[in-house]
Structure 1
Amino acid sequence: MPAAPKPNDHRPRVAAERRERMRSRLIESAMVVFADKGVGASVIPEVKAEAGVSQGSFYNYFRTNEDLLAAVGDELSGEMVQLIESVVGDISDPALRVATGMRCYLHLARSHRLLARFLAGAGLRLLAQQNAAFRYLPADLEEGQKRGDFADVPLNIVLDMIAGAGLVAIDHMARGRTPKDYPDKIVAAILRSLGVTVDDATRLTGVPLPRLSPASDSLLARAQARAAAQAPTDA
């Protein structure tokens, strides 16, 4: 029978912290590889090489591509929700909440090319996994419909339309440069398709947004820094 840990034995805590660091490194590496290779590729060999771990160590944490994708998606969407909620949390007008939330989401993708590339490839799969970034949208849309801000269209149709337009916009931003106001124009067009007038769509998308800066220890910031460090430099 193994001896019980001594009261001052820090080894279990140190081991747990080491495991968590390794898992975080694998998720960070997976985001970089998925953004580069796409989510349909078999990325496990590249992720192991990127993270600098052995095959045995890798399989202590993840078994499949889908496991990796789900882990990256969960952590990223949680971070994005936290950033977006810091902006929209105190907004009482549902139409303004919807517009501001969508603008924040797209501006994050535009300002973080790695995020845009990852979402462009993984978007539909992440949506199928109940992406946390869309968690609050149905309630806000329903409240806006009750107030007469939006047309009375079935919510599942509205959500599909928003997701489709958003993913096409993200793919566009992942592939090349776009004007600074591109996310705002996309959201204004989406609002118009929801029955919002031109004047109201312009007003709702003209509200200044704060700069959305992920924390330095966030997955998004870590993966972006790793990708930047690997990018070729001009001679």
Structure 2
Amino acid sequence: MAKITNHLFTDDKKRRQWARARILSSSAKLISTKPISDIKVEDVAAHSEMSRASFYKCFRSVEDFLNASAKKSGVELLKPVNSVGSTISDIALRTATKTRIGIRMMTSVPLLGRLMLKTEWPFGDARHKGYKDIQNDIAAGIEQGYFTDMPVEIGVNLVISALRVGVQDALNSKHTEGYETEIVYTLLLSLGVDTKRADEISKIPFDQLPALPKNGLVGKIVSLVS
């Protein structure tokens, strides 16, 4: 018997994918013109020129929409972070450097940082590329003896907490001049790096920030605020 294809379902799925992409692509302009906490469904619909019904076919709520925008931005930021991190063989130094880059990127464009903090970033979803990236580094660090033998998820949560606290403090101007060094030092100690090595790594100068993406959602946000 020939396989029966439900063309209506297929078409609906494609339309939802198209509508979702259109709505997400409009988020950069929206969050650059209105406080994130004040965004409503009507605002999203108006900026994307889509109906409320179309919005609710793609997202459960404004929070769901913002989380999707932040996750998309997070994936886009992995490339510049890894462009530096992948060249470092020392896992402890790599983890510290990538954490530092993440903090600086989020704070160099405050609007981007506020979007991330408004959502579930850094994401605890094990399916997210950012989570998997941290997970791989922690697993490698444990295997190579750089980090304490612990459940990988604990190590991931330590990195995630350091990222969030670092960005939050920087955006709220609650940090001292050496806050980044302190955060990296504390993170390395919590992962099991000895005091001397953690102190050395945390004090290594890092002045060159990789270029932010020029395309995608991040590129749009940067172009709108620069």
CA contact (8 A) 1:120 1:174 kept: no
Q: Is the 8 A contact 1:103 1:183 kept in 2?
A: yes
Q: Tell me, in whole angstroms, the C-alpha distance in 2 between the residues paired with 1:28 and 1:83.
A: 20
Sequence identity percentage? 20
Alpha-carbon distance in 2 for matches of 1:32, 1:131 = 25
Cα distance change, pair 175–46 in 1 and its aligned pair in 2 (3 A): farther
Query: Deviation of residue 108 (structure 1)?
Result: 0.9
Q: Structure 1 residues 139 and 56 mapped into 2: Cα distance closer, same or farther (>3 Å)? A: closer
Deviations 1:85-108 (A, max 9, x none): 111112222212211111111111
Q: Which residue of the partner structure matches residue 222 of structure 1?
A: 220
1:116-195 matched pairs, under 5 angstroms: 116-123=113-120, 126-128=123-125, 130-176=127-173, 178-179=175-176, 181-195=178-192
Distance 2:50 2:217 in 1: 22
Residue 104 of structure 2 is aligned to residue 107 of structure 1: yes
1:120 Cα deviation (Å)?
1.4
Question: In the comparison of the two structures, how many residue pairs are matched?
Answer: 207
Q: What TM-score do the two structures reach when normalised by structure 1?
A: 0.72
Q: Residue 64 in 1 paired to residue 60 in 2?
A: yes
Matching of residues 2-81 of structure 1 within 5 Å: 22-23=22-23, 25-29=25-29, 31-32=31-32, 36-37=36-37, 43-49=40-46, 51=47, 53-55=49-51, 59=55, 62-65=58-61, 67-81=64-78
- Structure 1 residue runs of 5 or longer lacking an equivalent are 1-17, 230-235
Q: CA deviation at 1:113?
A: 0.7
Q: 1:145 to 1:36 in 2, by over 3 A?
A: same
Q: Which deviates further from its counterpart, 183-192 or 59-68?
A: 59-68
Cα 1:46–1:129, aligned 2, differ >3 Å: closer, same or farther?
farther
| Cα distance in 1 between the residues matched to 2:106 and 2:184 | 14
Q: Any idea what the Cα deviations from partners look like across 1:40-80, whole Å, max 9, x if unmatched?
A: x773222234x262526954983433552343133211111
8 Å contact 2:76–2:213 — kept in the other structure?
Answer: no
Instruction: State the distance in 1 between where 2:57 and 2:222 align.
Output: 22
- Say if 1:143 and 1:186 are closer, same or farther in 2 by CA, change over 3 A: same
Cα distance in 2 for partners of 1:102, 1:90 equals 15
Q: Tell whether the 8 Å contact from 2:106 to 2:112 is kept in structure 1 after alignment.
A: yes
1:211 is aligned to: 209
- The structure-2 alpha-carbon separation of the partners of 1:95 and 1:25, relative to structure 1 and needing over 3 Å to count, comes to same
Unaligned runs of 5+ in 2: 1-17
CA distance in 1, matches of 2:119, 2:208: 27
Q: Deviations over 1:9-64 (max 9, x none)?
A: xxxxxxxxx98984454232455479621xxx773222234x26252695498343
Query: 1:176 is paired with a residue of what secondary structure?
Result: coil
Q: Which amino acid aligns with 1:75?
A: K
In 2, Cα distance between equivalents of 1:108 and 1:141:
21
The Cα shift of 1:111 comes to 1.2
